Chain A
């Protein structure tokens, strides 16, 4: 059984740029959620995708957007990067709305 995989593991971007993070959900899972974890903090819910539709959103601005593909993999896009966007971005998948299984995360640094 393949777990949740995220790419890239690390990246550095400049303020104002755009970034795309990718997530392959665990085999058999159809629901993906994204979280932002700032240094020293707990993860914060960004949004969830279920069957290719956004299914709930946390308190994040519209420049955070996402996609889910027919194979249930997902992307997180962030436009107009700000320094405060530097964080570990975590993807989690599940079958329907059962417990979430997390990937290793993507460490984004905005300079």
Chain B
């Protein structure tokens, strides 16, 4: 069965520091991969997606992610975080070419120190 693991439940970084959020997936075929962000009590906003092609994908708000098939990973990065980036981040994989039937990780809560 498909699964997504986000090893870090909570990460704290200082404003202006770089960020990397880890995501590993288990999936038998070529995955559709996504990163979503969720502010408290809100819905999910799509940051970026990978369907095929270039393994380094650019998203909104200055985020990028790299697909590494050999490591079954899709880590999210940002060179310099802003206080407004504090939120919950979810990695997700699409089921059997289903970009909407998503399996989510448990999420990583990001706290920004001033």
Contact = CB atoms under 8 A, between A and B. Distances in A.
B94 to A, nearest CB: 8
Nearest to B90: A42
A77 B92 CA distance: 25
A98 B99 contact: yes
Contact of B102 (A45, A88, A101): A45
B42 A104 contact: yes
Contact of B46 (A43, A48, A101): A101
Given A102-B44, A102-B45, A104-B43, A45 B101 contact: yes
Contact of B44 (A48, A56, A90): A90
A94 B100 contact: yes
Interface stretch (B14-22, B79-87, B103-111): B103-111
Interface string B19-56: 00000000000000010100001111110010000000
A97 to B, nearest CB: 5
Contacts of A48: 98, 100-101
Chain A interface extent, by class: 20 to 34
A31 B100 contact: yes
B10 to A, nearest CB: 11
A97 B42 contact: no
Nearest to A92: B100
A66 interface: no
Best-surrounded residue of A41, A56, A99, A104 (most CB of chain B within 10 A): A99
A105 B42 CA distance: 7
Contact of A97 (B41, B49, B97, B106): B97
Given A42-B90, A42-B105, A48-B100, 13 more contacts: A31-B100, A35-B102, A43-B102, A45-B95, A48-B101, A94-B100, A97-B98, A97-B99, A99-B34, A99-B99, A100-B46, A101-B46, A103-B43
Interface of A: 4, 31, 33, 35, 41-45, 48, 56, 58, 88, 90, 92, 94, 97-105, 107
